[in-house]
Amino acid sequence: MNTTTFRTAVVRTPSGPDSIEIIDVPVVEPGPGEVRVDIAAAPVHPVDLGVAGGRFHEMGLVHQPHHTGLGWEFAGTVATAGRGVDLAAGTRVAGMVDGFDRDFGSYAEQIVVPVASLAVVPDALDLIVASTVPLNGLAAAQITDLLGDAPEEGNRLLVTGAAGSVGGFVVSLAQDRGWNVTGLARAEDEEFVRSLGADFATHVEPGWDAVADGAVMQEQGLALVRDGGAFVGVQPAAKPASERGIIIDVVVAVPDGAQLGDLLPRAATGELSARVHEVVPLDRVADAHRAVAKGGVRGRYVLKP
Ligand SMILES: NC(=O)c1ccc[n+]([C@@H]2O[C@H](COP(=O)([O-])OP(=O)(O)OC[C@H]3O[C@@H](n4cnc5c(N)ncnc54)[C@H](OP(=O)(O)O)[C@@H]3O)[C@@H](O)[C@H]2O)c1
């Protein structure tokens, strides 16, 4: 095994799945407060399809001179800990990296990250399943923080895309904050959404106290909020314009090891539903992207480097 380089999936000229390449890049030693993680699992996320398709390059958000990395979340084991880090080699961890403008991401055999962005994975949680929690679990927790505790009057929350990854987590977390949740999803998702303790709908009328927009309905989602209600979107680059006194927020998920450390045990007990559709080798990353692009996938495609 070559120990001076490792494999990672990147795009040089992004133009969809066929433009994804696997290349060798030099191993990096962790600095103070950092950890090098041997990655066991890295999910394919909708945002990765946008990067591979050049959407964020076109928006001027990527400035990489050679290649752009893919993958925002991972689970694996600690390989080496930098100075000041108290994590033994072999410790099972999960985490996320944020931002589009990176030379490589979690679609890789290893990654160096600040220890503050990591959380230890409970023994009862498989690393494959754990890898699906960081990005969307943190996004959902941070959406729920933006919504805050439900007011006593006006606690009806509609979660769009409630059978999706972000939406499903919001459905669970928002009920803990007192929201009376209805999940908007496809007809075939009714059993799943109800299993999370929410009401279920495939079509709704306007008048909701709050909408959390996991399905990226944007202005259509905003139109469902009552005057003076609240809307939380998931597309930072496309925040809907304010109207009718509605408080509009957009989540930008940020790494937070402490918050992740609260979410992973809840995934281990099943309180949070972290779903895996299929595990595929890193070499088949383009196939996984093509499958996700078709839509209708429930649970994550997870890459195994
Ligand atoms: N800003 C941030 O920090 C942040 C963080 C994480 C995620 N995100 C974004 O959040 C979005 C959701 O991510 P995800 O991983 O949860 O995706 P996902 O698992 O694919 O979930 C989206 C869900 O919405 C459903 N949906 C779409 N249109 C619908 C409609 N009209 N009615 C009912 N359901 C509908 C989809 O069903 P079908 O598959 O049947 O269409 C799917 O179940 C993505 O755009 C992602 O990039 C943003």
Cβ within 8 Å of residue 168, ≥6 positions away: 162, 192, 193, 196, 214, 273, 275
Mean pLDDT, rounded, for 204-209: 98
Q: Is 184 in the pocket of ligand 1 (CB under 6 A)?
A: yes
Alpha carbons within 13 angstroms on the beta-carbon side of residue 156 total 13
Report pLDDT for 2: 57
Report pLDDT digits (tens) over 145-203: 999 999 988 999 999 999 999 999 999 999 999 999 999 999 999 999 999 999 999 99
DSSP single-letter state for residue 241: P
Ligand 1 pocket, residue 252 CB under 6 Å:
yes
163 lines ligand 1 (CB under 6 A): yes
Contact 74, 42 (CB under 8 A): yes
Say what the pTM is. Answer: 0.97
Judged by DSSP in three states, 112 sits in strand
Is 167 touching ligand 1 by the criterion CB < 6 Å? Answer: yes
Beta bridge partners of 120: 93
Can you name the residues that pair with 92 across neighbouring β-strands?
77
Pick the closest to residue 210 from 247, 237, 238, 244 (CA basis). Answer: 247
pLDDT at 17: 98
Report the distance separating Cα 107 and Cα 48, nearest Å: 10
Identify whether the C-beta of residue 169 lies closer than 8 Å to the C-beta of residue 234. Answer: no
- Per-residue pLDDT tens digits for 251-275: 999 999 999 999 999 999 999 999 9
Ligand 1 atom closest to 236 (CA)? 1
**pLDDT for res 99:** 84
Average pLDDT over residues 73-94: 97
Q: Please give the share of the chain, as a percent, with pLDDT higher than 70.
A: 99
Ligand 1 atom having least distance to the Cα of 139:
5
